[in-house]
Amino acid sequence: MSSKRPFSSSLSRRSLVQRGSALGAGAAVGKVALGSAQTPAGSPAASPVPLTEVDQDFLAAQEAVIAEIQEMGEGKTLHILSAVVGGKTPEEDQLFEEEIRRLTGIQVELVHPTAEYDEKMLADLAAGVEYDLIYMNKNRMDVLVDQEVLTDLTEQINNSAILSNPTVIPPEEWELIEYDGDTFYSVFNKFEGARMLTVRQDWLDQLGLEAPKTLDEIYDVMVAFRDQDPAGNGEGVTLGLSTAGTYDIQPFMSSEGIRPGYVEVDGKRTIPYATEAAIPVYEWLAKLYAEGLYDPSFATAETADMRNLFMTDKVGFVTYWDTWVGLFNALVEQENPGSDFQAKGLAAAEGPDGVIISRGQPSVWAIPVNAPNAELAFKFLEWWHTFPGIILGSLGILDHDYTVEGDTYELTEVGAEHAMDHGVPTPYNTNWDNPVGELPGLAEAQEISVEYGYLAQLGPQWDAEVVPILDENIIKTILGDISAADAVAAMQERLRSEGLID
Amino acid sequence: MLRHTTRTMRSHAWLYVMILPVIAYFLIFVYYPLYQGAASSFQEFKLLGTAEWIGTENYLEVWQDGTFWQVVKNTLLIGGGILVFGFFPPIMVALALNEAATLLFKKLAQTTVYLPHLFSWVVIGGMWIFLLSPGGGLINELLALINVGPVRFLTNTTWARATMIGLPIWKDMGYAAIIYLASITSINPSLYEAARIDGASRFQQMYQITLPLLKPTMKVVFMLNILGLLRIFDQIFVMRNPVVQGGIDVIMTYVYDMGIQRYELGFASAISVMVLLTTLLLTAIVWRITGFGRDD
């Protein structure tokens, strides 16, 4: 955990885990069920989860953490500020709090804003509101570390039998959130997947087309979707592609070997999206727009608009998170049982460097320096990576989102709507096997994420300062307002003048 | 003298006690935050712990910031547009409503024009983004019927500015119209009766009686609009997008971006203080020019 973070990182979760298992001295692997002694009485995890290969060190550590948290949490309250972890409504947030209490004995006050999360976090911290745990992404963490708001957790993490276990969190993953080579201020929330090109596989099948691999092939398929009308929208109506602004055009940038974020070249900070190498891709996207293949409202569209177009047969391709491949299929099936709808993750257009897609920035939990119950908060983070914690973060709340009979887990109607996402749809812990099974198409999409996911180097200025400059010029190019060459020149000029590139 | 004042205060002690909660309210919820904001404009912001005093550094930074002057220009264009083009429509609506033939129609029309004011910009903005969309939006569909467009209302800077001027005028027209309408109904009916006896037409009555007597209300509404001129935020925040952001971002969205997105709260506070002082100055100038508060 102390090695310097590489400037770029292409992740292979499986290889990391295999390496991690090998590193884990004394890790006896075998078929083990989670025994009742390891969880509070009455917990669903008291029933055996499906048998899987479970690391014995992890099991022992898990048992200890579950016992310790019960002891430490008695009569104490944790104040948690959360963006994605919790219920889907205020009522469910309350059930979520009660479920944590049932499982750990800890009273929880969950603050779960429905929007403007970063603003809420900043306002509360500035006002001196005391939280024990705060959820954030890596970019925000960079700012808060700089502001000396977060507690140094290095020693606790190193001494944690759960968190330092390589089968729980692969060692190389920790490098993504370390500072100065050996300091940690947070613990992961979940494994972050990647965003990829996703296609209507049923339309491909219907038209007898192969999955496209290059920009030209993708273009041909879009034309076929529009002109041969597999959706029955009427000839010339079906769109080829929808995105929310330029989020996320990386699957197309991949065709030129362009990486997202910053890339260091000869010791200088560069942004490949603002280089001449990107011009052919921008011209290709502008061609899609000019020919009516690209959603004409993409510049003002939200991701929800894009998702709706995809699920209502209006568009053939979107670029979105791997998890949503499964969610698209599950949601359409639930809305329209027996539908032919089939979303499939395709990764990206192949380029000179193969396939490059964007992996999500780490999402983490941190403990502010003014946390009233810092020790208990850290114990909770350890618990969050045990099976009961993972069940809560994925399946959700017992008898609300899922039921258990014997060793059979079943989602309720509400649970099916929530699609096994209560903040941790994809946990890190490799000992864990989802007892309900995966969403259709998800496992395949996650394989793609693991194989091709590239974690961009962004930094604290990226979202607020770099993205607006890129967005403005790229969208103008796609709309045909300026040429791709002019857009790149404008991006270069502004980024350099504002000291955002060297 | 002092003894007299003390005696007077004692004799009205209960009145002063009754005022205390109001004074406390303003001190706690208005003036203390105002002081904190002003103080932080002279500090280097820290989320937790003691902030460092850095004098006028934030103000100098604001002064030298090119984006700040761009958003000032945008604010004056958009705010000025709303001020100028938004001034007369409510008066016309109020006059028209006053002439409505039946009470039912008047109430229906009044409710209809007032309704948009009741909705938040989140709702109104989302609705208009959809209506103005080049891909299936109602406005562009209607324009297509006469072979116009599609018009990129929200991704072309000129159109976007016009939209940012037009929508608030439409949204708040009903509110101002009701103020004018209330003022019209308070005009002494005997003035109209006398005019009718003298043979004045309805238009003459409107021009010679109603409009002159609406002047004090016009001053109030204009003053209120001046107070809000530099504080435009909601509609821009909800409806902006990367393509037109440089052309429609206003001072308050810039304050938000700098303070909340970039955590430059000292810088953002400095802009806020400048906006406050400029608004005070503008109001004083308008007060002076219009003779606001003086008998007409």
To the nearest whole angstrom, how far is the Cα of A479 from the nearest Cα of chain B? 9
What are the tens digits of pLDDT across the range B133-148? 988 899 999 999 998 8
Task: Please indicate whether residue B290 or residue A141 has the higher confidence score (pLDDT).
Answer: A141
Ramachandran bin of B276, using left for φ above 0, alpha for ψ from -120 to 50, beta for the remaining angles: alpha
The CATH number covering residue B74 comes to 1.10.3720.10
Domains in chain A, please, with CATH? 10-192+362-429 (3.40.190.10), 195-358+455-497 (3.40.190.10)
Least CB-CB distance to B242: which of A119, A149, A475? Answer: A475
To the nearest whole angstrom, how far is the Cα of A118 from the nearest Cα of chain B? 8
Neighbours of A172 (CB within 10 A): 20
Query: What per-residue confidence (pLDDT) applies to A53?
Result: 72
Query: CB distance B135–A297 less than 8 Å?
Result: yes
| B46 contact A CB<8A | yes
Residues 6+ apart with CB under 8 A from B284: none
Are the CB atoms for B180 and B90 separated by under 8 Å? Answer: yes
- For residue A477, the chain B residues in CB contact (below 8 A) are none
pLDDT band at A364 (very low <50, low <70, confident <90, very high): very high
Q: What is the DSSP letter of A295?
A: -
In which domain, by residue range, is B127 found? 66-290
- For residue A463, the chain B residues in CB contact (below 8 A) are 261
Residues 6+ apart with CB under 8 A from A139: A361, A458, A459, A460, A462, A463
Which residues, given as ranges, of chain B have pLDDT below 70?
1, 292-296
**How many distinct structural domains can be found in chain B?**
1
Task: Please indicate whether residue A461 or residue A35 has the higher confidence score (pLDDT).
Answer: A461
B2 assigned to some structural domain: no
Task: Give the nearest chain B residue to A476 (CA atoms).
Answer: B243
SS3 of residue A402 by DSSP: strand
B272 assigned to some structural domain: yes
What are the tens digits of pLDDT across the range A31-55? 233 333 333 333 434 333 444 578 8
- For residue A476, the chain B residues in CB contact (below 8 A) are 243
Alpha carbon distance A219, A227 (integer Å):
12
| B201 contact A CB<8A | no
Q: Please state the rounded mean pLDDT for residues A276-304.
A: 95
B15 assigned to some structural domain: no
Query: What per-residue confidence (pLDDT) applies to B1?
Result: 67
B286 assigned to some structural domain: yes
Query: CB distance A463–B261 less than 8 Å?
Result: yes
- For residue A370, the chain B residues in CB contact (below 8 A) are 48
Neighbours of A461 (CB within 10 A): 17
Instruction: Tell me the β-bridge partners of A453.
Output: A357
B278 assigned to some structural domain: yes
Alpha carbon distance B195, A304 (integer Å):
61
B181 assigned to some structural domain: yes
Query: CB distance A475–B129 less than 8 Å?
Result: no
B47 assigned to some structural domain: no
Task: Please indicate whether residue A444 or residue B99 has the higher confidence score (pLDDT).
Answer: A444
Q: Please state the rounded mean pLDDT for residues A129-141.
A: 93
Write the single-letter amino acid at B246: G
Least CB-CB distance to A464: which of B134, B241, B262? Answer: B262
Task: Give the nearest chain B residue to A462 (CA atoms).
Answer: B262
**Residue whose pair of structure tokens reads 């996320």 in the numeric block:** A248
Alpha carbon distance A470, B252 (integer Å):
23
Query: CB distance B260–A119 less than 8 Å?
Result: yes
Query: What per-residue confidence (pLDDT) applies to A29?
Result: 29
| B1 contact A CB<8A | no
Task: Give the nearest chain B residue to A487 (CA atoms).
Answer: B243
pLDDT band at A3 (very low <50, low <70, confident <90, very high): very low
Neighbours of A61 (CB within 10 A): 21
Q: Please state the rounded mean pLDDT for residues A351-370.
A: 94
Q: What is the largest CA-CA distance in chain A?
A: 66
B295 assigned to some structural domain: no
Which residues in chain B (111-130) have CB-CB distances under 8 A to chain A? 129
SS3 of residue A239 by DSSP: strand
Torsion sign, CA atoms A355, A358, A364, A370: positive
